[in-house]
């Protein structure tokens, strides 16, 4: 529970501090605009998850504690990337009920503003995630096939 809070609280604070600047300033200035930014963020999600999961899958505490600790340390950049991406993505979620939308929801970069300016942002981000996820799976399959062929 403490680890969850240790990750969640800074995420909320970072979102309040720089979330509006990401979608209000950075995304429109991105080459290709906010939709290209959403596609880029979506495409980086599977890479961040792979950078997190791959080292953790190599851990074996029974075989060696020091080596496993090294693999856990190697997963930290993937965790940081996933944490950062979660903050960027969660900044676009607006309150479920319209009555909960405050005035700052419509400020430049606010969640309501993002959905008004870029209504298909979610679809572009999802498409980027699916395409890059498929490419990662294909790469993993090819790597596994080559490793199995070399082992024979």
pLDDT digits (tens, 9 = 90+) for 30-68: 999 999 999 999 999 999 999 999 999 888 888 888 988
pLDDT at 8: 77
The pair of three-digit structure tokens given for residue 19, joined into one six-digit string: 């979330």
Per-residue pLDDT tens over the stretch 95-107: 776 666 666 777 7
Lowest mean pLDDT among 25-34, 65-74, 109-118, 128-137: 109-118
| pLDDT value, residue 138 | 95
Query: Which residue is associated with the tokens 């693999």?
Result: 71
With 90 as the cut, is the pLDDT of residue 136 above it?
yes
DSSP conformational letter for 106: G
Give the confidence band of 134 by pLDDT, cuts at 50, 70, 90. Answer: very high
Question: In angstroms, rounded to a whole number, what is the distance separating the alpha carbons of residues 149 and 106?
Answer: 56
| Residue 145 pLDDT level (bands cut at 50, 70, 90) | very high
Q: Cα dist. 11→14, 28, 30, 51 in Å?
A: 5, 23, 23, 20
The pLDDT value given to residue 17: 72
Q: Are residues 109 and 96 in contact, defined by beta-carbon separation less than 8 angstroms?
A: no
Taking residues 6-35, report their average pLDDT. 80
* Other CB atoms within 10 Å distance of the CB of residue 71: 16
110: confidence class by pLDDT, cuts 50, 70, 90: confident
Mean pLDDT value across residues 118-129 = 93
What per-residue confidence (pLDDT) applies to 50? 93
């Amino acid at each position: 529970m403490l680890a969850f809070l240790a990750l969640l609280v800074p995420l909320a604070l970072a979102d309040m501090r720089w979330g509006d600047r990401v979608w209000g300033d950075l995304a429109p200035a991105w080459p290709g605009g906010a939709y290209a930014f959403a596609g880029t963020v979506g495409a980086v999600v599977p890479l961040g998850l792979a950078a997190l999961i791959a080292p953790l899958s190599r851990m074996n505490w029974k075989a060696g504690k020091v080596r496993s600790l090294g693999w856990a340390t190697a997963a930290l950049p993937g965790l940081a990337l996933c944490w950062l991406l979660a903050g960027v993505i969660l900044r676009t979620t607006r309150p479920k009920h319209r009555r909960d939308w405050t005035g700052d929801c419509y400020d430049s970069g606010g969640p309501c503003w993002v959905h008004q300016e870029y209504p298909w942002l979610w679809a572009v981000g999802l498409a980027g995630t699916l395409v890059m996820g498929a490419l990662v799976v294909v790469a993993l399959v090819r790597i596994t096939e080559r490793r199995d062929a070399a082992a024979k």
